[in-house]
């Protein structure tokens, strides 16, 4: 059994959690829409993750929609005391599975209520506001109005902690001027390193950074070099990419997702992978080729 504690812990809100977590997005159907092909397999993955020590699960009620949260409830409720469920709001799905911004006060309140209902909770541990100003990553625009709604719901006791997702530095600062932010969730990986400065700034303030798409945006050449490093270490490219992220900064929390127990074991094993300095140099040389936008 993999010892994920070797990756260490970091504080998320007022909880100390293992840095290797699990992302539930792939538990829904194709394109994160509709039910999974095998619901029993999805339940098995969640239970296996928790049995392996995972105590941080990232989800959203717009996965499915509703499907992923309902599967989490079926698999894990009543939840272990140390399990931290983190959700996000700011979008909804249309009948064809399209992603539609849902930023009005009513939509945000309804999203929180849907998450509470489908997860079977009276209070959400962490809610990330996902900015939906662009389909291609963060884009500037004020998030004060929607984030203030979440701050109100936090004061009402429906949410314990707040975070932000798909955001710029300016939006993080804006959110922090309204209410404490315990995590930032953005696209970041070995070659997509536009958030380097953000990660370092958050680390100084003890705020968690949760990267998604650990292999997203690689060129064929970058992928081939990553594969070469993985072959030399007798591991998978995904394991190398995850191990590099764990090494990058102590405030990084990982949420790799999968619908397969076998793949889950592979991902979690990255917590035990120590990259040799020579491998790190090669990997960092890949990263240096990816210039910030």
Q: Is 79 a catalytic residue?
A: no
Name the residue with tokens 């991902």.
267
- Using CA atoms, how far apart are residues 177 and 49, in angstroms rounded to an integer? 36
Q: Dihedral of CA 33/37/40/43: which sign?
A: negative
- Using CA atoms, how far apart are residues 37 and 139, in angstroms rounded to an integer? 35
Q: Which residues of 83-110 are buried (b: 16+ CB within 10 A; e: fewer)?
A: bbbbbbbbbbbeeeeebeebbeeebbbe
HEC profile of 149-192: HHHHHHHCCCEEEEEEECCCHHHHHHHHCCCCEEEEEEECCCCC
Q: Are 57 and 21 in contact (CB under 8 A)?
A: yes
Residue 140 DSSP SS3: coil
Among the options 22, 63, 188, 209, which is catalytic?
63
Q: What angle do CA 55, 119, 34 make, to 5 degrees?
A: 105
Structure tokens at 173: 């600062």
* Closest to 131 (Cα-Cα) out of 147, 118, 117, 119: 147
Residues serving a catalytic function are 63
């Amino acid at each position: 059994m993999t010892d994920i504690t070797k990756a260490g812990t970091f504080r998320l809100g007022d909880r100390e959690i293992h840095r290797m977590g699990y992302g539930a997005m792939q538990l829904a159907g194709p394109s994160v829409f509709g039910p999974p092909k095998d619901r029993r397999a999805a339940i098995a993955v969640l239970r296996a993750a928790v049995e392996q020590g995972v105590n941080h699960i990232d989800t959203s009620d717009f996965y499915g929609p509703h499907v992923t949260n309902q599967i989490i409830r079926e698999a894990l409720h009543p939840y272990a005391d140390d399990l931290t469920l983190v959700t996000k709001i700011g979008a909804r799905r249309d009948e064809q599975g399209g992603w539609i911004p849902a930023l009005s006060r009513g939509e945000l309140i309804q999203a929180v209520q849907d998450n509470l209902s489908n997860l079977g909770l009276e209070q959400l541990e962490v809610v990330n506001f996902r900015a939906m100003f662009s389909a291609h990553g963060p884009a500037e625009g004020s998030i004060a109005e929607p984030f203030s709604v979440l701050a109100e719901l936090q004061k009402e006791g429906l949410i314990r902690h707040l975070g932000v997702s798909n955001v710029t530095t300016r939006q993080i600062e804006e959110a922090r001027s309204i209410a404490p932010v315990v995590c930032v969730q953005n696209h970041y990986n070995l070659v997509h390193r536009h958030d380097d400065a953000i990660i370092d700034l958050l680390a100084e303030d003890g705020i968690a950074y949760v990267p998604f798409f650990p292999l997203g945006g690689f060129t064929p050449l970058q992928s081939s070099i990553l594969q070469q490093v993985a072959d030399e270490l007798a591991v998978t490219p995904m394991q190398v990419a995850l191990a590099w992220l764990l090494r990058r900064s102590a405030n990084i929390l990982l949420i790799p997702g999968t619908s397969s127990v076998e793949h889950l074991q592979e991902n979690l094993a990255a917590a035990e992978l120590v990259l040799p300095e020579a491998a790190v140099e090669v990997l960092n040389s890949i990263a240096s080729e990816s210039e910030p936008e």
